[in-house]
Amino acid sequence: MSKKSNEDEEQAFRENQWTARIIKLFFAGFFIILLGIIILIAAALLAGDSNISIGGFILIWFIPIVFGAGPEAPWLTVLAVILGILSLIMFLILWKKAK
């Protein structure tokens, strides 16, 4: 009986290690992508060309945050909002299918 519980504990420990590694890898990838986006935006703004436009959309739970700068910012923010809404719809569809 003791041997069985030790095997179960070892199995659970290995699964927890893999889960922790996957979560760390996910966050590392997320922060690398975020850093890349920040570097690209900073490079575009520091290039000195006044024809640069940026637009974005951040959705935190149900609060949308829309931002933009430059001559084409209104179109970019509209595009960002549309993509955000489509992402939310896809999430809801996949979530319903998973149930």
The pLDDT tens digits of the residues spanning 41-69 come to 788 778 776 677 777 777 777 677 787 77
Q: Which residues pair with 54 in a beta bridge?
A: 69
Q: Which stretches does DSSP call E strand in the chain?
A: 54-60, 63-69
Task: Please choose, from the candidates 56, 50, 65, the residue with its C-alpha nearest in 3D space to the C-alpha of residue 83.
Answer: 56
Q: What is the pTM of this model?
A: 0.49
Delimit the domains of the chain by residue range. 1-50, 53-99
CA 7-8-13 angle, 5° bins:
95
Render pLDDT for 12-51 as a digit per residue (tens, 0 to 9): 777 788 888 889 999 999 999 889 888 887 887 787 766 7
